[in-house]
């Protein structure tokens, strides 16, 4: 069976470097999956996801979205299907108002004016940015900017969402609201690829975890299976969610989140 997102033996080497940023990566991702891409800085995660929206084309191998090779599509065409929210929202924000920023994508896709207005309203409400419609994006807080970057992408309703470190540098309340938003998008059936170091985010949202090291995929499984593998956790510079370590300490069912730990503990003690 061919996967929705098909990555076949993809290798990539940046100019002026003497090692492969990606070496022979193969991965299939199905519709509706929420995949966390894990691994240390420099392991190839960002290089890999840049192949999904055509920012990079494979030097060897093949990437296909819904059966069509990214080589046969422009970045603009791919953008209809693949939304990429960059790590640093400052790098993608350019407009003079929140509304303009969010309208840019659908306008470029040639959407009708009324439809744009309706979609922008929806998305601003969804991301709790409606009060900031006329605000200059640069005067928003870090958490608000991150939500704006997300809004500017989901407004075009791409089937696939790539989120590169969506919670990095955000404070508690902003992280909570980002987790909430991504959970809703996942429940709407979006295919989500999450590049993150935030283990609590992974344990709360991801249905699958893929671990990269030195340009290769070294593990692929449920977050629970991945984080239970101590040798892998050590080798890939991951960190076990404390809830999982506590459940091992107290001999209750393996739990990824504080909520499920409390549940396991109640059941285990009965």
Partner 1 sequence: MIPLTVRDFSFSYPHTDRRIVNDVSFDVHEGEFVSIVGPSGCGKSTLCYACNGIIPHTISGTLGGNIEVFGKDTATHEPHELSAEIGIILQNPETQLFAMTVEEELAFGPENLGIEPCEIERRIDWALSIVRMERYRETFPFHLSGGQKQRVAIAATLTMMPRALILDEPTSQLDPKGKREVFDVIKRLHDEEGMTIMLIEHETDLIAEYAERVMVMDAGRIIMDGVPREVLSKVEFLHKVGVRPPEVAEATFRLHREGLVPAVCTTMHEAREMIW
Contact residues for partner 1, defined by CB under 8 A:
39-42, 141-143, 168-175, 197, 199-200, 237-239, 241-243, 245-246, 249, 258-259, 261-262, 265-266, 269
Q: What value, to the nearest 5°, has the Cα angle with vertex 138 and ends 133 and 143? A: 80
Nearest to 35, CA basis, from 44, 45, 50, 25? 45
Rounded to whole angstroms, the Cα distance separating 31 from 78 reads 16
Cβ closest to partner 1, residue 103 vs residue 260: 260
Cβ closest to partner 1, residue 143 vs residue 158: 143
Min. distance of Cβ 114 from partner 1 in angstroms?
A: 36
Q: Count Cβ atoms below 10 Å from residue 16 Cβ, excluding itself.
A: 5
Cβ closest to partner 1, residue 204 vs residue 208: 204
Q: Count Cβ atoms below 10 Å from residue 127 Cβ, excluding itself.
A: 24
Cβ closest to partner 1, residue 69 vs residue 183: 183
Residue 34, φ and ψ in degrees, nearest 5: -120, 100
Min. distance of Cβ 180 from partner 1 in angstroms?
A: 14
Min. distance of Cβ 85 from partner 1 in angstroms?
A: 16
Nearest to 99, CA basis, from 141, 53, 152? 152
Q: Which two tokens stand for residue 165?
A: 């470190």
Cβ closest to partner 1, residue 68 vs residue 128: 128
Nearest to 133, CA basis, from 100, 166, 159? 100
Rounded to whole angstroms, the Cα distance separating 269 from 156 reads 49
Min. distance of Cβ 86 from partner 1 in angstroms?
A: 12
Neighbour-count burial for 81-113, b at 16+ CB within 10 Å, e otherwise: bbbbbbbebeebbebeebbbbbbbbbeeeebee
Q: How far apart are the first and last CA of the chain?
A: 45
Cβ closest to partner 1, residue 53 vs residue 255: 255
CA–CA distance from 176 to each of 131, 181, 218 (Å)?
Answer: 19, 9, 30
Min. distance of Cβ 46 from partner 1 in angstroms?
A: 9
Cβ closest to partner 1, residue 112 vs residue 249: 249
Cβ closest to partner 1, residue 52 vs residue 244: 244
Min. distance of Cβ 236 from partner 1 in angstroms?
A: 9
Min. distance of Cβ 28 from partner 1 in angstroms?
A: 25
Min. distance of Cβ 132 from partner 1 in angstroms?
A: 15
């Amino acid at each position: 069976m061919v996967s929705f997102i098909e990555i076949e033996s993809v290798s990539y080497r940046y100019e002026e470097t003497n090692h492969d940023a990606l070496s022979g990566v193969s991965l299939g991702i199905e519709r509706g999956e929420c995949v966390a891409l894990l691994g240390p800085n420099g392991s190839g995660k960002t290089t890999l996801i840049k192949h999904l929206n055509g920012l990079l084309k494979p030097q060897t191998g093949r990437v296909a979205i819904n059966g069509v090779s990214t080589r046969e599509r422009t970045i603009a065409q791919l953008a209809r299907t693949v939304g990429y929210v960059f790590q640093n929202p400052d790098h993608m924000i350019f407009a003079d108002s929140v509304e303009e920023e969010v309208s840019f994508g659908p306008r470029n896709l040639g959407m009708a004016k009324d439809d744009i207005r309706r979609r922008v309203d929806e998305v601003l409400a969804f991301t709790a940015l409606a009060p900031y419609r006329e605000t200059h994006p640069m005067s928003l807080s870090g958490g608000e900017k991150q939500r704006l970057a997300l809004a500017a992408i989901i407004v075009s309703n791409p089937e696939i969402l790539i989120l590169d470190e969506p919670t990095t540098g955000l404070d508690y309340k902003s992280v909570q609201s980002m987790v909430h938003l991504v959970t809703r998008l996942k429940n709407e059936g979006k295919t989500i690829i999450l590049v993150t170091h935030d283990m609590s985010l992974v344990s709360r949202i991801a249905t699958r975890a893929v671990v990269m090291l030195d340009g290769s995929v070294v593990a692929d499984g449920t977050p629970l299976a991945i984080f239970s593998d101590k040798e892998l956790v050590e080798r890939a510079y991951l960190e076990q969610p404390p809830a999982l370590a506590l459940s091992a300490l107290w001999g209750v069912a393996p739990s990824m989140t504080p909520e499920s730990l409390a549940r396991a503990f109640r059941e285990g003690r009965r």
